[in-house]
Structure 1
Amino acid sequence: MAKLEVNGSQFLLDGETIRILSGAIHYFRVVPEYWEDRLLKLKACGFNTVETYIPWNLHEPKEGVFNFDGLADVERFIALAGKLGLHVIVRPSPYICAEWEFGGLPAWLLSDTDIQLRCLDERYLRKVDAYYDVLIPKLAPLLNTNGGPIIAMQIENEYGSYGNDQDYLLYLKNGLQVRGIDVLLFTSDGPTDQMLQGGTLPGVLATVNFGSRPEEEFKKFREYRPEEPLFCMEYWNGWFDHWLKPHHTRDGDDVADVLDRMLHAGASVNFYMFHGGTNFGFYNGANYQDKYEPTVTSYDYDAPLSECGDITAKYKSVREVMRKHGAEVLEELPEPSRKKSYGTVAMKEAASLFANLDTLSVSVRRRCPEPMEKLGQNYGFIVYRTRISGPRKAQELHLQDVHDRAQVFLDGSWIGTVERWAPKPLVVDIPEQGATLEILVENMGRINYGPRLKDAKGITEGVRLDNQFLFDWEIYPLPLADLSALSYASFQTQSKAAENPMFFRGELLVDDIADTFIRLDGWAKGVVWINGFNIGRYWEQGPQKTLYVPGPLLRQGANEIVVLELHGTDKPDIVLIDAPDLG
C-alpha cells in the first residue's frame, strides 16, 4: 500500500505530492457518541488529517491491566476517521504532555521511587515495553501500509524540552519498528537550539511546535534541517486554562493570518487543538514554572470547535484561509448539537465524607503519612488521621510537603486549608486530653510538563508540630473511581447548611436528551458525577463556571447526580443551563 514519504522538501503519498492539513482531536476527551460529529466538522473545514495522542495512563490504569473500551477505544476512533476519508497521525506515548495528568504516564510508575523517567533506565523501559507489547499490535493493522488510515507516528513528544538521551529516543524508534510500525516516523519539538538538539534523531523527520512568528520559527528549524518539509506539528491557535487564572482567548483573525503565512511558505500544519474537549474525571494535568498551577476541567482551548463541539468564529476564519489555499471545504456547515436548560435540581440527600470513611475506603496504618502511590492509589483524595497528645499551646502545624491541597480538621472541626502553591503552617492549640487530627488531601493533577514530572501525591514527607514529627497514622485512600460504595453510605435529607466535606445526591428527570451545562453557584469546590460518570472538578475561584454534560451521558427518566462538596454550601441546589461559562 501507499506510504507517506519525504521527497526533498515535500511529502509524497502514493506518488503524489500532499500537503498535510491536520487538526488535533483527542478521542479520550470526547464521548464516543460524538467522535463522528467532531471528525466530520474537521473535514468540513478543509482538513485532510486528524491527529491524536494516546495516553498510557488511560490504557493501563493498573500495571498489567489494560483498557481499550468506550472512551479508550482508540482502534474504533482511528478506523472511524479512515472511514470518513481522513488520514491519521498518531502520537502514542509513552509521554504526551497534552495538559493531561502526568503527561500520560501512569501514576503507578511512581511507586518505585528509584525509577528514572523518559531516559534509558531499565526499570522504566521494562514498563514501556510491556505497554507497547499490547498497544502497538492494535495499531499495526491500522497503518496506511496495511490499508488503514495511519500515515505517520511520533517518537516520544517534545523530548528536547526535557532531556537529551538520544539512546532513549533510538530505543523507542527501534521498539516501534520491531513491532511492525513501518509508516513515517517523526519527532516534534520547539524551534530552539536546545530543543532541536535534544529531541531529534538523524534520519527521522523533525517537526516544530509554535503559535506565532512562523517565518522566524521555520528559519531556526532550517538551520538544523535545511532540506526537509516544513511541518508545524503543533500550531497553538488557542491555549488552556489554569485554576485561579483568567480564561484564555485568541482572536480568530490573528489565528487565520498566521495559518495563511504558514501555508504560503509551503508548510504542512497540525492545529493544536482543532477541538479540545474535556478533562473528564481526575485526568487534568498541571504545570510548574514558578509554582504549581493545576489545569481546569474544560479543555476548550479556545479552539475552532468549542468544548461542546460548536463551530466558532475562529472556525469560520480558518475555513476561509483553507479555501484560499485550495482545500476542499463544505459550503454547508454541520449543525451544532442540541442544548437544553433542565432547570434547578435540589440535592436533597447528603452524607458526610468523614462519617462514611469506613464505607468508602479500607484504611491502612503507617508510621509516616505515605503518598498515594505507595498505597497503590492513582487519583482522587486521601485522608490521614492521627492522635495528638496535649496540652500544647500555639504550636505550628507543618505539612511537609503537601501535594496538592489539604483541608485540616481537629476533633472534626475545620481549622484551615494548606495549598501547595502558597504553603503556610497552621497555629493550633491541643487541649489537655489530646485531639484527633484529620487531613483530607486532594490530588489536583500531576505535573505534565518540565523537570518536575515526578509528582507524588498526598503528604510526601511528613507532618510536624513545630519541629516534632508526628508518627502512627491511619490512612484512608479515596480514589473515588467507582461510586458503588456510596450506596452503602448513610445519606439523610439535608435540612441545614453543611460545612464539612459532604456528598450530595439529587435526581434529574429527563424526557428530552440534549447537551447541558451545570452551574454550581453557591458551592465552593468539589467534583460532580452524572450516572456514575465523573464529569470533573469545579471551584468557585474560577475561571470556569460551568461543567459540560454531553447528552449521551444522560438517559431517559431518572438521572443520578452526585456532588462531593469539600467546604459546604448554604443552598444545595444546582442549575442545568443551555450555554457554557468558561470565565
Structure 2
Amino acid sequence: MPALTTTSDGFLLHGEPFRIISGALHYFRVHPDQWTDRLRKARLMGLNTVETYLPWNLHEPEPGTLVLDGLLDLPRFLRLAQAEGLHVLLRPGPYICAEWDGGGLPAWLVSDPDIRLRTSDPRFTDAFDRYLDQLLPPLLPHLAANGGPVIAVQVENEYGAYGDDTAYLAHVEEALRTRGVEELLFTCDQANAKHLAAGSLPGTVSGGTFGGRVDEHLAALRAHRPEGPLFCSEFWIGWFDHWGGPHHTRSAENAAADLDRLLAAGASVNIYMFHGGTNFGFTNGANHHHTYAPTVTSYDYDAALAESGDPGPKYHAFRDVIARYAPVPDEPAPAPSPKLPLTTVALDRRAPLLPHLRTLEGAVRGEDPVTMDELGAPTGYALYRTTVPAAGDGLLHFAGGVGDRAQVFVDGASVGVLERERHDETLPVRVPYAGATLEVLVENQGGVNYGPRIGAPKGLLGPVSFQGTVLHGWECRPVPLDDLEALPFEPSEATSDAVPAFHRGTFEVETPADTFLALPGWTKGQAWVNGFHLGRYWNRGPQHTLYVPGPVLRPGANDLVLLELHATTGTRVQLTDTPDLGPENHS
C-alpha cells in the first residue's frame, strides 16, 4: 500500500492527515556539494517535501547507458533529503519541459525524424521502457514503501498541452507500476478544463499548474475532479529568461498573497521554483512559438532561494505564510553565504579556435553538409568547411536556415552571422578568388523544450549555395570541448581579439566561496573554472554574470578558460560578489 493516499478532499500519509507543502529543487541544476545546504534551507522555510524532475537525456546520454554520479547522483540526493526529514516528489517524465535542453528527451531518440514523440509509437515507448529498466532498480529502495522519502511519482508532464493519446499515458503509468513503483501517482497540467481532460488518468491525482488567479484555477481543478485533494503541482512564483529578453521578477508580496490563498483553501502546493539553480554547460532549453528563443544560463527564476542559495524576499515572506498553516522550525532563517572578495583575472594566454580545429582528425567528409546529430554532436558547436569555386560579390544562401546560430568566415575572416531566431537564410559576401575557403561555425543554442518543435535539427540544415550554385565537398566536424588541457595555449599580449579563440588565466583563492563571473568587454561564448563548465555568456543580456559555485574553486591557484566567439575589448574579467541578471521586470 502506498504511504501517501487520498481522501475526499486531501491526503493521508501513513493514515494521518497530510498537506504537501513542497518546493521544486532540481538536483541536476545544483552543485552536489551544495545539496545538503539547499535541502536544509527548504526545511527551515517550512517545506515538508521537495520535488524534482529527472533529465532522461543526461541519465542516458547514449542508448543502454545509465549515469548516476556527480551532478546526477539521484540516490545520494534522495538520501540527503531523507536525512533532512523531507519527503520527495519524483517527476521522471519521460518528458520534463523544465526549460531544459530538448525537454529532457535524449538527442539520440529525438533525432529520428520519423519517431512520434510522446505517443504510443513503440519506438518511443520501448526506449522509455528500456530506460526505466535501468533507472528504477537503484531508485526503488528510496520509495516510501521501502522506507525511503519518495511519496509520489508523476506520470508524464503537462501532457494535456501536447496531445490526447490516453493509451500512451496509460502505458507510462503501467511502465512505472510493473517495475515496482507502488507510490501514489499524479499528473500535472495547466489548470483549465481542456488540458486537465487530455492530460489526466483515472485513479491518479490531477495536479494543476498556475501562478495566479488562485480561486479560478482551484475551481477548475475541482470541476475536473469533484472529489480528492486540491493540488497545485507547480505554483509559479517567478519565471525564466530568454537571451535578449527581460529579466522576469515577481514581487514577494504578490506571490506570498497567492500562496496564502492556496493554503487557506486547503490545497497542497509545490512551489516552482523553491530554488532554481543553473543551466550549467549546454543544458539550457529554448522556446519556439513564433520564433526561436534560447533560455539563459541562470535558472534563478526569482525563486525563494537565489541562484547562489541565498534566501531572497520570497523566502522570508513564504516562511511567514506557511507558519499560519503548518509547523515551521524554531530556528533562525539562514543567512546569505560568504562570497569571494572582488578579484580581477587576467587572461594572458590564448589559442585561436579555427586553426586548432583544422589540425584535428575525425572530420566527416561528403558532398553535402550533415546535421550536428548526424555528426554525433548533440550539443555545442560544429565547424563546416568547403571551398567556393567562383570569385566575386554574391549571396551565400543557406537552404532551410541554420540551427541555431552560424558565424561565417571566408579565408579565416569573419563575414557575418546568421540566426535561426531572425529566420536568416542569406548573407551577402565577397569571395576574393576562386577556391577561397568557406568555414561556418554553428552553435546549438539549446534544444526546444516545449511544443511540437522538440528535436528540431541543429547545424547546417540544407544545401549551401553561392551565386545560385550549390557548394559541394564539405568537411564537417564537431568541436571537442572535453579536454581543454590539450589546447595549444600561447602567451598573448593582445588587448583585443576579433577571431574565435580560447583565453586562459589563473587566479588565487584563499578560502573558496561563491562568486559571480562578470565579463565586461566580452561578447559571446562559454566559460569554465577548473574544468567545470559554467555555461554560456552573451553581452545581449539580460544576464551579465555567471554563477560560480564555491565548491568549484580550490585554495591556491585556479584556472579560468573562456571560449570567446567574437571579440573582446580587453583580456580581463572580474569575480564579483553580486549577480547581474538584468533590470527587473516585475509581473
Distance 1:71 1:396 in 2: 43
After TM superposition, the structure 1 stretch with the greater mean CA deviation from structure 2, 177-186 or 352-361, is 352-361
- CA–CA distance in structure 2, aligned partners of residues 432 and 299 of structure 1: 47
Shift of residue 398 of structure 1? 3.0
d(CA) in 2 for partners of 1:326, 1:413:
64
| Structure 1 counterpart SS, 2:460 | strand
Q: Which residue number in structure 1 is paired with residue 325 of structure 2? A: 325
The aligned runs of 1:89-100 (5 Å cut-off) are: 89-100=89-100
Corresponding residue for residue 402 of structure 1: 402
Question: What is the Cα deviation at residue 360 of structure 1?
Answer: 5.5
Q: Provide the rounded CA distance (Å) in 2 between the counterparts of 1:479 and 1:103.
A: 24
Deviates more, 1:252-261 or 1:320-329: 320-329
How many angstroms does 1:564 deviate by? 0.1
Give yes or no for contact 2:408–2:438 (8 Å, CA) kept in 1.
yes
Separation in structure 2 between the aligned mates of residue 120 and residue 436 of structure 1, nearest angstrom? 47
Partner of 1:493: 492
Correspondence list, 1:503-582, <5 A: 503-582=502-581
Q: CA deviation at 1:46?
A: 0.7
Shift of 1:466: 4.7
Number of aligned residues: 581
Aligned equivalent of 1:445? 446
- Which whole-Å CA distance do the structure 1 matches of 2:15 and 2:483 have between them? 54
Taking the aligned partners of 1:16 and 1:77, their CA distance within structure 2 comes to 26
Match of 1:434 in 2: 435
- Paired residue for 1:274? 274
Question: What's the CA shift string for 1:494-526, capped at 9, x where partnerless?
Answer: 435211100001111112111111100000000
Deviation at 1:2, TM superposition (A): 6.2
Asked if 1:221 is matched to 2:259, the reply is no
State which drifts further: 489-498 or 221-230: 489-498
- Report what 1:343 is aligned to: 343
Residue 143 of structure 1: aligned partner = 143
CA distance in 2, matches of 1:119, 1:479: 34
Give 3-state SS (helix, strand or coil) of 1:567's partner: coil
Q: Which residue of 1 aligns with 2:585?
A: none
Query: Shift of the alpha carbon at 1:309?
Result: 0.3
CA distance in 2, matches of 1:399, 1:518: 38
| Alignment check: 8 A CA contact 1:360 1:478 kept | no
Equivalent pair of 1:159/1:198 in contact (CA under 8 Å): yes
Q: Which residue is equivalent to 1:458? A: 459
| 1:359–1:488 CA contact under 8 A, matched in 2 | no
Residues 394 and 467 in structure 2, CA contact (< 8 A), matched pair in contact too: no
Give deviations 1:322-366, integer Å, cap 9, x for gaps. Answer: 011133244411232210134111100011100100456621102
Cα deviations by residue, 1:153-186 (Å, 9 ceiling, x for unpaired): 0011111111111111111110101100000001
Structure 1 Cα separation of the partners of residues 93 and 490 of structure 2: 42
> In the alignment, is the contact (CA less than 8 A) between 1:29 and 1:277 conserved in 2?
yes
Q: TM-score, normalised by structure 2?
A: 0.97
Residue 71 of structure 1, CA deviation: 0.6
Q: Which amino acid aligns with 1:513?
A: P
109-118 or 377-386: bigger deviation: 109-118
> 2:176, 2:323 → 1: CA distance?
36
State the secondary structure of the residue aligned to 1:374. coil
1:372 is displaced (CA, Å) by: 0.9
In structure 2, distance between residues paired with 1:445 and 1:241: 13
- C-alpha separation in 2, matches of 1:79 and 1:256: 30
Report 1:143-292 matches (<5 A). 143-292=143-292
Please give the alpha-carbon distance, in whole angstroms, between the structure 1 residues aligned to 2:330 and 2:538: 40
Deviations, residues 466-513 of structure 1 (Å, cap 9, x unaligned): 543322210110152x124x4242534243521110000111111211
Structure 2 Cα separation of the partners of residues 187 and 466 of structure 1: 54
2:199 partner letter: G
Indicate the percent of aligned positions where both proteins have the same amino acid: 51
C-alpha distance in 2 between matches for 1:102 and 1:403:
14
Distance of aligned partners of 1:79 and 1:565 in 2 relative to their CA distance in 1, 3 Å threshold = same
Partner Cα distance (2:468, 2:110) in 1: 28
Equivalent runs, 1:95-134 vs 2, <5 Å: 95-134=95-134
2:419 aligns with 419
How far the C-alpha of 1:399 sits from its partner, in A, is 5.2
Contact kept in structure 1, 2:240 and 2:295, CA below 8 Å: yes
Structure 2 runs not aligned, ≥5 long:
583-587
How far residue 237 of structure 1 moved from its aligned partner, in angstroms, is 0.4
SS of 2:533's partner is: strand
Q: Distance in 2 between matches of 1:295 and 1:494?
A: 35
Structure 1 moving runs of 4+ over 6 Å: none
1:9 deviates by 1.2
SS of residue matched to 2:400:
strand
- The TM-score, its normalising length taken from structure 1, stands at 0.97
